[in-house]
Chain A
Amino acid sequence: MKKVLSAFLIGGIFGLGIAISGMANPAKVLNFFDVAGTWDPSLLFVMGGALLVTAIGYRIVFGARRQPVFESQYALPGTTGIDAQLVGGSAIFGIGWGISGFCPGGAIPALGLGHPETPIFIASMIVGIMIARALKARAARPAAA
């Protein structure tokens, strides 16, 4: 229960930050990308502020405690190699973000703003996630004779 309440509150801080920053507003995100047109550099300040706090905060956290408060260890991604899936997937994501102005972290808090476009985007994105999972599972199976 403590864990769930904590995650709810931390998610709330995330969602409020996204919403006031402009990351949940596709028009603003698209203008951030439109460097040759109606460029709006605001999102540089979002990334800058978030990176600054996270980089310093992570250092303090990892230096101060051997394990997180609620769990026995930090769950950090172990893979370090640069592979085709990482680069190709990121390129595909970039195209989709450039088309829609929505990224997953922007879209979820945008649900709370109550506009009808957001659930349409999120439903489509979930279908995309399920398609990619099915394709990955098929590729992982040994080829049938």
Chain B
Amino acid sequence: MTEFTPWLSLSGGLLIGLSAVLLMALHGRIAGMTAILAGVIPPFPSDWAWRAAFLAGAIVAPLAWLAAGNEIAFAVPLSTPTLVIGGLIVGIGVTYGSGCTSGHGVCGMARLSRRSIVATLVFMAFSIATVYVMRHVVGA
């Protein structure tokens, strides 16, 4: 079980949205983690610097939040091999699918992009089906 956290989750969602709007207003970019991350994996595009800065900020902020005395729940209920397999599959999928939850699910859906709406419905459906099979069919 994990605790139902509507207010904290809503607050987090509002911050994610604020970040997406600011990145568009100032940099003219979609706040999609797949594309931003791809920009710091060789071969580097010419505009890798803002992507690296965005990633650094995204890592440092939770660290600072913890250092300020706050707590953030975290648990990985998986074996290491399962985590590695999951990572490989996610990396392959987001590269072929041109985006993930942030790029398609938030920014693309907010623009009413047909591609992003389809992508989001497909990955959500497959995630729910995968968890159903792993927890209730295989019974892992």
Contacts and interface: CB of A to CB of B under 8 A. Distances in A.
B90 A104 contact: yes
A82 interface: yes
B18 to A, nearest CB: 6
Given A38-B1, A40-B2, A100 B21 contact: no
A76 B111 contact: yes
B74 A24 contact: yes
A7 B50 contact: yes
Given A46-B12, A108-B59, A55 B110 contact: yes
A68 to B, nearest CB: 3
A142 interface: no
Nearest to B125: A94
A93 B32 CA distance: 14
The DSSP consensus for interface residues of chain A is helix
Contact of B51 (A7, A30, A45, A109): A7
A57 B9 contact: no
Nearest to A104: B33
Interface string A110-129: 11111101001111111111
B118 A87 contact: yes
A129 B27 CA distance: 25
Which among B38, B85, B95 has the greatest number of chain A C-beta atoms within 10 A?
B95
Contacts of B15: 13-14, 16-17, 20-21
Interface string A2-13: 011111111111
B56 A8 contact: yes
B59 A15 contact: yes
B25 A53 contact: no
A17 B136 CA distance: 31
Contacts of B34: 104
B74 A113 contact: yes
A117 B76 contact: yes
A123 to B, nearest CB: 7
Contact of B88 (A97, A110, A131): A131
A35 interface: yes
Given A69-B25, A132-B92, A14 B12 contact: no
Contacts of A103: 33, 90, 100-102
A86 B115 contact: yes
Closest 3 A-B residue pairs measured CB to CB?
A128-B91, A21-B12, A49-B13
Given A9-B57, A19-B61, A101-B76, 10 more contacts: A13-B18, A18-B16, A18-B58, A21-B9, A38-B1, A51-B106, A58-B21, A91-B126, A110-B74, A129-B41
